[in-house]
Structure 1
Amino acid sequence: MTDQLEPMPADWQRALAVVAHPDDLEYGCAAAIAGWTDEGREITYVLASRGEAGIDTIEPAKCGPLREQEQRASAAVVGVRTVEFLDHKDGVIEYGTGLRRDIAAAIRKHRPELVITLNHRDTWGGVAWNTPDHQAVGRAVLDAAGDAGNRWIFPELGEQGLQPWDGVRWVAVAGSASPTHAVDATRGLERSIRSLLEHRTYIEVLTDEDPETYCRTFLSGNAEAAAARFGGTPAITFELFRR
């Protein structure tokens, strides 16, 4: 594909990033988030799980708190101060009204204009199967962006003081095989590498390669691969759904 990607919209102030696990955003779009926080934009992270089933050698009761700690440190590197967890069970997150309700509640609470999530489709570009957690959370985010604005869907949220928010203007899907928009990765790339490195416990189990070399190669390679469709500039790509 050689069609040029459009720049992401810039006329917004608040974003909410909702993904399944610790490290999803660091693999997907942390360089873009670093650039946005530099501009004074407010970004909040919400994670459906604590990633407690992600490391075979560490039992979930110990792994969950460790990965939460690494995620908070990782977010801080790119200027994100608020990280929340919904406590769905890692590996078996189910798409359904419960997940939609929890995400709609987060949207009503934080009132973002832009919502960010990760690839919700069955595969990564047709070459690797996506996980059920990514599929469930990404799909629920797309639906909850509408649910959050409808007072008759999940009326119990209003009773809890979370009033409807119909101000979501876009949902941006990172890691999509069908991107439409992109963000210059240059300013935030180094911090995105450091941010991914904060997940050192997970990375050291994932690969025998030097962790910094692994992170740099993966993130720089993805950003540079997108340059051909973004005027030669290394970029983070998104599939943008307008609302």
Structure 2
Amino acid sequence: MTEQLEQLEEMPDDWQRALAVVAHPDDLEYGCAAAIAGWTDAGREVTYLLASRGEAGIDGIEPAKCGPLREQEQRASAAVVGVSAVEFLDHKDGVIEYGTDLRRDIAAAIRRHRPELVITLNHRDTWGGVIWNTPDHRAVGRATLDAAGDAGNRWIFPELIEQGLQPWNGVRWVAVAGSDSPTHAVDATAGLERSVDSLMEHRSYIEGLTDEEPETYCRTFLTANAERASARFGDRPAVAFEVFPR
């Protein structure tokens, strides 16, 4: 007898503004760009916040040249899925540290943009219990979950109020892409093709990562992820999230 897979819930859609917080250029494109494309199509506002510029991400390009190149590719990538606001915090790629400085920077962005939904990437030790996650992903994911609460507490980081950033306690959910324990999903049908195009904008990174033809690599990776999630989402291609309500 075939075991029935527990189905994922539909992502909440009664929101208008989202802030997506990740460590590096390309994290969102590997993680959830198809969902973001659908949200911007529906008129929702999504802002990207990157902790670093990914300057240590390409072995053959020195950081001083790599950082500006990856920033340019990230802005082009975001535009493909309807995102025009892309900000960088300039933490050092590869050695981003979890702590109060990172929490403060993310909390400040949450207060500036006042999102109802915050998105981040897998903050746990592994990908699927098989592949070790990077320190940057773990640090930024955990700091983002914490900063969603920090942003609403006037007594945490009071210096932000002095900078004109009043507390924002309006974050209703933090959604983690790439989680081993997803709870919700978004239909990726409408946004899947643009997610492929969006990931392809990171051409310098992809060409340094694989000898495979870039479009084939991007399409294979993203389609496989969407199909994997579909088994728990009514056989619809999907982007899965672990959603933490607040």
TM-score calculated relative to the size of structure 2:
0.98
Paired residue total: 243
Distance (Å, rounded) in 1 between the aligned partners of 2:200 and 2:157: 38
Q: Which of residues 6, 31, 36 is equivalent to 2:34?
A: 31
* In 1, Cα distance between equivalents of 2:135 and 2:231: 31
1:116 aligns with 2:125: no
- Taking the TM superposition and a 5 Å limit, the aligned residue runs for 1:87-236 are 87-236=90-239
Residue 44 of structure 1 corresponds to 47
Between the aligned residues of both structures, percent identity stands at 85
Match of 1:162, SS? coil
After superposition, the CA RMSD in angstroms is 0.6
Distance in 2 (alpha carbons) for counterparts of 1:151 and 1:140: 18
Report Cα offsets for 1:78-129 as digits up to 9, x if no partner.
0001000000000000000000000000000000000000000000010000
Per-residue deviation, residues 46-71 of structure 1 (Å, max 9, x unmatched): 00000000001100000000000000
In structure 2, the gaps of 5 or more residues are: none
Following the alignment from structure 1 to structure 2, what is the Cα–Cα distance between the partners of residues 229 and 21? 29
Residue 221 of structure 1: how far off its partner (Å): 0.6
Q: Measure the CA separation in 1 of the matches of 2:5 and 2:203.
A: 35
Which runs of 5 or more structure 1 residues have no equivalent in the other structure? none
For residue 117 of structure 1, what is the amino acid of its counterpart?
Answer: T
SS at 2:123 equivalent: coil
SS at match of 2:166: coil
Secondary structure, aligned partner of 2:56: coil
Structure 2 counterpart SS, 1:172: strand
Are 1:85 and 2:106 matched, yes or no? no
TM-score by length of 1: 1.00
Distance across 1 between alignment mates of 2:231 and 2:88: 36
Distance 2:206 2:234 in 1: 32
Which ranges of 4 or more aligned residues in structure 1 deviate by more than 2 Å? none
The 2-side partners of 1:10 and 1:56 are apart by 40
Superposition deviation, residue 2 in structure 1: 1.3
Of residues 59, 65, 74, the one that matches 1:56 is: 59
Aligned to 1:66: 69
Q: Aligned pair 1:239/2:245, yes or no?
A: no
CA distance in 2, matches of 1:81, 1:72: 7
For 1:58, give the aligned amino acid.
I
Paired amino acid for 2:138? Q
